[in-house]
Structure formats: C-alpha cells, structure tokens
Structure 1
Amino acid sequence: MQFAKYQALGNDCLVVERDDFVELLSPTVVRRICDRHFGIGSDGILVREPSSDPTEFRVRILNPDGSEAEKSGNGLRIFARYLWDRRLVSDAPFTVVTPGGEVLCRVHEQGRSVTVEMGRVCFHSGEIPVPGPPREVIRETMEIAGQALEFTAATIGNPHCVILRPQVSKAEATLLGPLIETDSRFPNRTNVQFMQVLDRANIRIEIWERGAGYTLASGSSSCAAAAVAKKIGLCDSTITVHMPGGSLAIEVDDNFLVRMTGPVGKVAEGKLSDEIFQSTRTAGA
C-alpha cells in the first residue's frame, strides 16, 4: 500500500489513493496506521478519491481515531502539495472538493507554501450546529469543570468553539478541550481553540482537535479563531495566528470569507507492510 507523508506546522498526514486501499480503511485500520507505536504514526489520513473529471480533485479526511472530518486547513495544504509533487497541478489555482465544501488552492515556492481559499465562516447556530433558538453564537458563556468560559461558535465546513482567554496554555487545552469537544451544546462534537489576542494583527491559540486531541497546529482552527477575533472586534482583517507548531497568515474579508497561507514539508514516501492490517497486539501484552 503506497503512501506519502507530509507535515504542515508539525501536523502530519499520510496521503493515499483510494484505489490502492479499496475498502481497507475501516476505523480500526485507520487507528492502527496512525498509531505512533504500532503503526507509521500520523495525525490523520488524506484519501484522494477518484473522479471522472481529471481537473477535479476530491479528498476524504480521516482522523486518527477513525472518524471523518469535513474540512482540514493543514490537510488541504498537504493535499495540494501532494498533487503538485505528482505533477497533477501547476502554480495556477485549482479546486479541491471536501465533504465540507469546495476550496480553491494555489501552490507557491515549488510546493513549499500553499494558499487556500477556505470559504466563509458562519456563526449561525443552525449551521454549526448548536441547539437552542436560531441565533449567531457570539460571546456566550458555558461552565466547564467549574469555570465560566466565554465562547463563540462557528463553522467553516466543520464546527469550532473559540474560547477567549487572557493567556493560553497546553495544560488548559488538554484539560478542558476534551470536555468542550463532547459538550451537549455540540451534537456533532467540536474543534476547540483557546485564543489569546496579542494585538489587532496577532493572536495565539492552543488547539484541541475533534477526533485527534491536542495538536500543534490546525489550519481550519486558525481560520475560525481569526474570524472570531474579527467578528468580536478585537482584530482587523489580516491576522497572523501563532501556534506551538508555527504561524499561519489569515485574511478575513468583511463577509468572513477566509484565505489561509502557510508552509508544507514532505517527510517520506513508501509502502505500508501488509502486516499493519493485522493485529499486532495480544492480550496481556
């Protein structure tokens, strides 16, 4: 089974062709492949889906827990670089179809940087979704682990919950993130960003990613957090999002259409052993 592995700000993904795996990518197999001890290790798997149109590119996004994501900013930059390396695209803009909608990608610097038009961020409860009366979910309060937290919810094809904090930390993200991800306010679970506004052009976030856990960087999280910072009046349209894995440049227009630009690096390519599809664990091991 052939694969290519890339990383975008420390968020690493395998890219595979659907026809190479046929029906092998069950949740159990995905978890095994992504396991950093019993598999090759990855924050997810990007599956290029076949298309009758050679100019159309389709991708499925598999989380390391075996669930599927609607959209992934880092994953889309990685997928764009993969298409570039296979000489399927040039430096002209091209469209990628995801379960969370179409995006427009453009490769720069011989594949080392990619810009993605991520689509429009929406704050409406019915779109995210968030239960309750129809509304924009802006600066509401939730109580988690005895703390009152101010949050704004949004979707950019996948759900996000942005928590405004005076400072952010990995410790808080790993403590509160899983509780917020599975909170009843978010029937489809949610990605969680803890956001510190540094000035009108810079924010810092720590991320708990739905289906993946604590992560060094996330493109869709960066877009959602930047859009929230603009929506609540704390930042302007051009925002640098700082994360443990590095920084992304985000542009948010007045209609909350978001453009993301950031780096991509190739790690490896090769072939997965057939043994990875067999259980390597035994009872009591």
Structure 2
Amino acid sequence: MNFHFYKYHALGNDYIVIDPNKAGVDLSEENIRLICHRNFGIGSDGILVGPLFQGKSISLRILNPDGSEAEKSGNGVRIFSRYLVDEGYVTTKEFSLGTVGGEVYVELLDDKGSQIRIDMGTVTFQSTNIPVTGPEREVLNEELVVHGQRLVTTCVSIGNPHCIVLYDKPSRETALDLGPTIENHSRFPNRINVQFLKVLDRNNIQIEIWERGAGYTLASGSSSCAAASAAYRLGMVDNEINVHMPGGLIKVDIQNGGHVFMTGSVTQVGKGFFSEELWARIQAK
C-alpha cells in the first residue's frame, strides 16, 4: 500500500517524508506551509522529499515549514535514512545520500535503523563560505549586538550556516526572543541557524536552537555538529562531545581537520493518507 506520507522524529525534531515514487504532491511554498502547520495540516518541522534517483545515486530535498529549502539537516538525513531502510530502498549498513549541501555518508548501527551515525563532512569558519558579510576571515568570538545585548558569536558552515552564541543560561525563552533577530540579521545574507551554547564540561555542552525557516526546535543534528565544532575550535571541549538539547542527546565526534560525525536515534511516528479535501488541494496536477 502506497501511503501519502510517513512521519518520524529524531529527539522530538519531527519530519514528514513524502516519497514522489508513491505520491505526487504539489510542493509549492503554500502547500508546504499548510502540510507542516500544526493546526491546519499534519504538523512538522519540515518535509523530506525522496528518494530521488540519478543512476545509482540517491538524494533528497529538505523543505522548511516556511516553504524554503535547506541545504542540509543532520536529523533530516538520519530520518530519511531510516525511511529508506523501512521501505526496502537500501539493504546495506553503509550508503551515501546527496543533499543540496553536499554528499553525506550513513552508517546504520542496528538492523532497524533506530541508531544512525552520519558523516557530516568538514566544517569551515571562513566568512565567505558561511556566508557572513565583511572582510574574509574566520568568524570567531565576534560581537553582535541584539536587543541591546552584546553577544559573543562564532559562525560556521557544515553545508548550511550556523551562528553559535555563548550564553550562560540558554533557554527556550532566549531562543524565542533573540533567535528570529539573529536569523534575519543583515550580517547573514542567506539568513542563519542559531544555537545558544553553554559548555558543561570538556565532553558535554547544552544548546537551545532557533532554526532558519523552522523556528524553535527541540533538537537538531546539524546544530549539534555546529555548536560542538565551535566549542572545539575555541578550545572549550575535547573531540568527543555529548550535545544536550530539550529533545535529548546527540553524540558528536570531531576528527582530523574538523571532520564531524554525529550519532543519534530515530523513531517512526506513523504513516497515513491526506483527507480527500486536503488531497484535492495539494495533489500534483
């Protein structure tokens, strides 16, 4: 039976998978916003579209709930990998996936795909690669004034852009208050994901997250990798880091040259059909 959608979460960061090989959905910005809306649609932090095939290669698109497209999502890639296992698209423990932000490599740590390790690639702190306005430089410990607060920020790209803010007491309220302004600050021409970071010890950090195009989220794989990489680059942590978020824990391992690996869980929530009324509106014509 070909369901219209499949829903998963990774530590409370939930995505809907829409498989174009099974259901033709018109993914206009308006329809994306409707499907992701938690009152008027199914509700999610985004939509994963795929698998998309080019020869033997598999790729996916990652759509934010505001209708924009993300370059990369650590949790999204883990969720999509689990979907590929569940639906029999992959039968090996290791495989690669294409994203707008580059190819990622996947390792299944169990037969069900409930624990997955992702090779997220190499991070960069170079301003032109993130991008951040101003002269070319590594964006480390730079001041950013937001709502009268002088914030200390470090910026990084891991295939998508991140601004990490050192903060004594990160909270949901902090992310909701400062996150939107930082995301849309003129310093970041493509907008930016935001993490509020507290270092707990040499192997543990705590973050709160404001995601570009999605808003406040309980967990994020790429945010975990970005925050851990920033803390490591600043000499605040060792190379194996537990990232604590409201949704749970992700393990990040940083190897030579800033190469980042991430391990975390994935849970299937359910699968189903859009109502006739909604399907008539969003079905690809």
The normalised TM-score by structure 2 is 0.94
Q: CA deviation at 1:234?
A: 0.1
Partner of 1:232: 234
- RMSD over aligned Cα, in angstroms? 1.5
CA distance in 1, matches of 2:211, 2:135: 26
Q: Which amino acid aligns with 2:230?
A: V
Q: Which amino acid aligns with 2:199?
A: V
Once the two structures are superposed, the pairs formed by residues 83-102 of structure 1 within 5 Å of their partners are: 83-102=84-103
Partner of 2:106: 105
Partner of 2:7: 5
Q: Which runs of 5+ in 2 are unaligned?
A: none
**Per the alignment, in what secondary structure is the counterpart of residue 51 of structure 1?**
strand
Q: Which amino acid aligns with 1:139?
A: N
Partner of 2:173: 171
Partner of 2:256: 254
Residue 217, structure 1, aligned to residue 216, structure 2: no
CA distance in 2, matches of 1:144, 1:242: 25
Contact 1:154 1:160 in 2 (8 A): yes
Once the two structures are superposed, the pairs formed by residues 19-168 of structure 1 within 5 Å of their partners are: 19-20=21-22, 22=24, 24-54=26-56, 56-109=57-110, 110-168=112-170
Partner of 1:270: 272
CA distance in 1, matches of 2:67, 2:212: 11
The normalised TM-score by structure 1 is 0.94
CA distance in 1, matches of 2:7, 2:184: 30
Q: Which amino acid aligns with 2:187?
A: R
Q: Which runs of 5+ in 1 are unaligned?
A: 280-285
Q: CA deviation at 1:106?
A: 1.3
CA distance in 1, matches of 2:21, 2:265: 28
**Per the alignment, in what secondary structure is the counterpart of residue 111 of structure 1?**
coil
Q: CA deviation at 1:162?
A: 0.1
Partner of 1:283: none
CA displacement 1:250-273 (0-9 Å, x = unmatched): 001131110000000001011222
**Per the alignment, in what secondary structure is the counterpart of residue 41 of structure 1?**
coil
Q: Which amino acid aligns with 2:139?
A: V
Q: Which amino acid aligns with 2:72?
A: K
Q: CA deviation at 1:104?
A: 0.1
Identity of aligned residues (%): 52
Matched residue pairs, number?
A: 279
Once the two structures are superposed, the pairs formed by residues 176-191 of structure 1 within 5 Å of their partners are: 176-191=178-193
CA distance in 2, matches of 1:177, 1:121: 22
Q: Which amino acid aligns with 1:106?
A: E
Q: CA deviation at 1:179?
A: 0.4
CA displacement 1:98-119 (0-9 Å, x = unmatched): 0000000011222111110001
Shift of the 187–274 alpha-carbon distance from structure 1 to 2, 3 Å rule, reads farther
CA displacement 1:218-237 (0-9 Å, x = unmatched): 00000000000000000010
**Per the alignment, in what secondary structure is the counterpart of residue 125 of structure 2?**
coil
CA distance in 1, matches of 2:51, 2:94: 19
**Per the alignment, in what secondary structure is the counterpart of residue 257 of structure 2?**
coil
CA distance in 1, matches of 2:21, 2:95: 22
Q: CA deviation at 1:93?
A: 1.1
Shift of the 52–187 alpha-carbon distance from structure 1 to 2, 3 Å rule, reads closer
CA distance in 1, matches of 2:21, 2:113: 25
The runs of at least 4 aligned residues of structure 1 exceeding 6 Å deviation read: none
Q: CA deviation at 1:33?
A: 0.5
